[in-house]
Amino acid sequence: MVEWLKNAIFYEIYPQSFLDSDGDGIGDFNGMIEKLDYIKGLGCNAIWMNPCYDSPFKDAGYDVRDYLKVAERYGTEEDLCRLFEEVHARDMHILLDLVPGHTSEEHPWFIQSSKRESNEYSGRYIWTDSWFQRAEGFPYIAGECERNGAYILNYFKCQPALNYGFLEPKESWQKPIDHPDCAATRAAMKDIMCYWLAKGCDGFRVDMADSLVKNDDEEKSGTCRVWRDIISGVQEQYPDVALVSEWNNPASAIGMAGFQMDFFLDWFGNGYNFLMRDYDDSGRDDSFFKKDSKRSILDFLDEYLPKYEAVKDKGLYCLITGNHDMIRAAYNLEERELKLAYAFLFTMPGAPFLYYGDEIGMHYQHLPCKEGGYTRTGSRTPMQWDNGINCGFSAADSKMLYLPVEQGENIPTVAGQEERADSLLHMVRDILAIRRNHAAFQDHANLEIVCASGKQRSFAYQRGSLLMMCNPSGQEEEIDLSGMAKKTWNKLYEIGTGTWREDACVLGEQSFVIFSCEPDCI
Ligand code: NOJ
């Protein structure tokens, strides 16, 4: 495990929308530099920045046209390198976003690959042998290029899939993983990673990391093989490269592919979804952290625990407040509900990820699609810093903004929440300070469920000398702790109330408490 990851708390920045330093209506590297002290002051010591490379932006930069060139709208490569330096000067770290599964259709590799004459890049993407041969079972495009073939897509129409091969090729055009064309794709990806590591980034969040090998098996053993090769190659030069996969299967990502971290992502009907986003258009909302929900924490734990256990000695299974693909947590959760949810997420194992603006409960906005965002667009609006022009995001005319800032009297802003002692922002700072200062939270391998049942909403869990208890419901609830060894527990942190009564703890409505049985402050 890379040493700094043991105590990492990440802040995700969507560069378009964080801070515009030059008044062109879009966020930039220099704006991020201006706000590094704010991020550090929040308690985060690491950053993941969404793609910042040259792109036609049909998918907000996940359609890369040139991996080695920064998008002009964010600044220059010198600005980015200065961002790396300023991050490190504050004893922080930064991950870029690597998009290995596909490029933009405007990438020079693809332009070469789509030519009629065979060339160095003909095998960089996955093409069938002729224009009328379908790529059965895959999304594909035919009839657009002079090359006599159809090509496979990885996501949107603008994102042709790079060729890492097929686990078991079935057609003449399907190449095995060890084919020279697939080896060349892997080598190209290693070079890109090393390029940015040499410039000073600390690693990568890896987009659709599970998508590389086609016709893969359930545990993605082909894709894992490819990653082992790429990662070990990069580690030869950069042994401390930090990697988090967008995979949602830590047993494969961490256990087999070689990533140090994987996310528990929001997929409809999964354990993470049940915590904060279990709602639909009919008005039903049974998210666990809703005060009136009927759910028990088991709906989360039943899925989380086996996955966590499978990798707990090898890497970090990470929990997130949200990300650029999800509806913002404040869409359905009230401030108190958000506080309980964050207190839980930030005291669990794994490196926590805080999505920009979630620390002030920024709202989801209903907006038309921007850069392929569709329903995700409303979670990508400008950061609300203060009540100045464009909420302090940009000095540009409001019509020029990347996305509109939220309008209204009482919209959440950083400045506004600084002034309110019981704000979400202060709560986030307080809980992250506790996380940073206690050894028990830094030991990623330590979690014991003390009380969790289908019969009550409240639950308790222990990490080393720290005991956390949460009651998300609107009624007082008692947690039976008679099974625990007798110890003196001192209250360290409290939202609402938690009171010991002999062998039990009584939690007031919507409460979260942390008790400590020994001084383990570091
Ligand atoms: C996952 C990214 O998070 C998302 O924003 C993007 O659209 C797809 N991958 C395609 O790269």
Based on the fold, state whether residues 110 and 82 are members of the same structural domain.
no
Q: Are 291 and 474 in contact (CB under 8 A)?
A: yes
Nearest CA to ligand 1 atom 8: 62
For CA atoms 343, 347, 348, 349, give the dihedral sign. positive
- Whether residue 49 lies inside any domain: the answer is yes
Residue 137 inside a domain? The answer is: yes
Can you give the pLDDT at residue 519?
Answer: 63
What pLDDT does 487 receive?
A: 85
For the chain, how many structural domains are there in total? 3
Eight-class DSSP state of 397: -
| Same domain assignment for residues 232 and 307 | yes
Query: What is the model's pLDDT at position 520?
Result: 54
408 and 504 in a common domain: no
User: Which pLDDT does position 442 carry in this prediction?
Assistant: 86
pTM of the model: 0.98
Q: Relative to the CA of 63, which ligand 1 atom is closest?
A: 11
Can you give the pLDDT at residue 15?
98
Q: How are beta strands 93-98 and 46-49 bridged, if at all?
A: parallel
CB 481 within 8 A of CB 450: yes
- Cα separation, 55 vs 73, in Å, equals 10
Q: Any idea what the CATH number is for the domain that residue 493 is in?
A: 2.60.40.1180
For residue 46, the one-letter residue type is A
The whole-number pLDDT of residue 286 equals 97
Phi/psi for 504 (5° steps) reads -145, 165
Residue 275 lies in a domain: yes
Q: Is 443 in the pocket of ligand 1 (CB under 6 A)?
A: no
Q: Do 461 and 345 reside in the same domain of the chain?
A: no
Is residue 155 within 6 Å of ligand 1 at its C-beta?
yes
62 CA distance to ligand 1 middle (Å): 6
Residue 179 domain-assigned (yes or no): no
Domain membership flag for residue 38: yes
Q: What is the pLDDT of residue 417?
A: 98
Burial 224-248 (b: 16+ CB within 10 A, else e): bbbbebbbebbeeebeebbbbbbbb
Q: Which of 409, 436, 463 is the last residue of a domain?
A: 436
| pLDDT on residue 354 | 99
pLDDT for 466: 95
For each of the chain's 522 residues, which pLDDT tens digit applies?
A: 899 999 999 999 999 999 999 999 999 999 999 999 999 999 999 999 999 999 999 999 999 999 999 999 999 999 999 999 999 999 999 999 999 999 999 999 999 999 999 999 999 999 999 999 999 999 999 999 999 999 999 999 999 999 999 999 999 999 999 999 999 999 999 999 999 999 999 999 999 999 999 999 999 999 999 999 999 999 999 999 999 999 999 999 999 999 999 999 999 999 999 999 999 999 999 999 999 999 999 999 999 999 999 999 999 999 999 999 999 999 999 999 999 999 999 999 999 999 999 999 999 999 999 999 999 999 999 999 999 999 999 999 999 999 999 999 899 999 999 999 999 999 999 999 999 999 999 877 699 999 999 999 999 999 999 999 999 999 999 999 998 888 889 999 999 999 999 899 999 999 999 999 976 555
Q: Do 235 and 354 reside in the same domain of the chain? A: yes
User: Rounded to the nearest 5 degrees, what angle is found at the Cα of 244, between the Cα atoms of 239 and 250?
Assistant: 110
Q: What contacts 443, CB < 8 A, 6 or more positions away?
A: 6, 463, 464
CA of 96 to the centre of ligand 1 (A): 14
Q: Residue 356 Cα, ligand 1 centroid: separation in angstroms?
A: 17
What is the residue whose two structure tokens read 């596909």?
Answer: 102
Task: List the domain range (segments joined by +) for residue 300.
Answer: 3-102+184-436
Task: For ligand 1, say whether the CB of 34 is within 6 Å of any of its atoms.
Answer: no
The CATH number assigned to the domain holding 95 equals: 3.20.20.80
Structure tokens at 41: 């002051």
Residue 499 inside a domain? The answer is yes
CATH code, domain carrying 138? 3.90.400.10
- pLDDT at position 1 is 87
CA of 28 to the centre of ligand 1 (A): 20
Domain boundary among 408, 436, 464: 436
HEC letters along 27-72: CCHHHHHHCHHHHHHHCCCEEEECCCEECCCCCCCCCCCEEEEECH
306 and 447 inside one domain: no
Which residue's CA is the nearest one to ligand 1's atom 5? 325
Residue nearest to ligand 1 atom 6, measured at CA:
62
Does residue 352 sit in the same domain as residue 370? yes
Same-domain status, 366 and 276:
yes
Q: Is 161 in the pocket of ligand 1 (CB under 6 A)?
A: no
Query: Where do the H-state alpha helices sit in 55-172?
Result: 77-89, 108-113
Same domain, 421 and 498: no
**Domain termination site, one of 406, 436, 466:** 436
72 and 114 belong to one structural domain: no
* 17 within domain boundaries: yes
Regarding whether 127 and 25 lie in a shared domain, the answer is no
113 and 97 co-located in one domain: no
Ligand 1 mean position, distance from CA 210 (Å): 12
